[in-house]
Structure 1
């Protein structure tokens, strides 16, 4: 799965880091930007370090990855990616506290909490997807007819 924001310096690395913390190695997670910057936002890094998630190793992703993943989540209404055959796309209109005059670390903490809730819900959906074994009808204990 791939999280995408505009610069890949704040929201998408935060989402990727939070998903890795929840899903461990059960889900391959990447982040990217439609207009990637050259570094991570220091306050994004700090907001995640405050909850034990380190995203300092996050790097830009090759555009080829867009067609190699099965799910792309964009993290803002202004982030646009053309539909890709076989790839499910979701858009999260994440909170932007700066629109309410909230800046600095408080802004990043609010963004972190918004993204964390969404990532938790997505991880639950992805990790709790029934397998073919769990879709079998329950054994009700009655003898089978032969």
Structure 2
């Protein structure tokens, strides 16, 4: 039996971008094992992030911010959502991190959140294509 590829989406607070990416990958590529995490996770997701995901039929209300572990990094293909805080983001020191450089959704209005969501969706769909070709 072939083990599914593990994908890890990382940002500092694990309350927005990485959670959107996790929800999108679960929907479009359930064959992959996906998780998101952060180095300083918040206690809950950004409410408007949940709302913009519901607009495209993805419910992430059950997802919770999680703390990033070295084990997660070691076992996964790691995607940095755009966090560049070297003190808070140890995965920057991993050789094969994919970096998407996506804006932080914190304190953004709903229109900006939609743009961020759509950018993440495009990145996720491109990632799926690349992973399926491997």
TM over 0.5: yes
Scaled by the length of structure 2, the TM-score of the pair is 0.81
For the aligned residue pairs, the C-alpha RMSD in angstroms reads: 2.1
The separation in 2 between residues aligned to 1:5 and 1:30, in whole angstroms, is 12
Q: Give the aligned partner of residue 4 of structure 2.
A: none
Offset of residue 106 of structure 1: 0.8
Q: For 2:41, which of 25, 31, 36 is the aligned residue? A: 36
Where 1:29 maps in the other structure, the secondary structure is strand
By relative contact order (CA 8 Å, sep 6+), the higher-ranking structure is 2
Scaled by the length of structure 1, the TM-score of the pair is 0.75
Q: Give the aligned partner of residue 98 of structure 2.
A: 90
The separation in 1 between residues aligned to 2:93 and 2:105, in whole angstroms, is 29
The separation in 1 between residues aligned to 2:103 and 2:81, in whole angstroms, is 9
The total of aligned residue pairs comes to 122
Q: Is the 8 A contact 1:95 1:114 kept in 2?
A: no
The separation in 2 between residues aligned to 1:76 and 1:5, in whole angstroms, is 7
Q: Give the aligned partner of residue 132 of structure 2.
A: 127
Q: Is the 8 A contact 2:17 2:105 kept in 1?
A: no
Residue 19 of structure 2 corresponds to residue 9 of structure 1: no
Where 2:93 maps in the other structure, the secondary structure is coil
Residues 57-109 of structure 1 show CA distances to partners (whole Å, capped at 9, x for unaligned) of 2121561322222x10011142532434xx731111114588xxx93211110
Q: Gapped runs of 5+ residues in structure 2?
A: 1-6
Q: Gapped runs of 5+ residues in structure 1?
A: 130-146
Offset of residue 29 of structure 1: 0.4
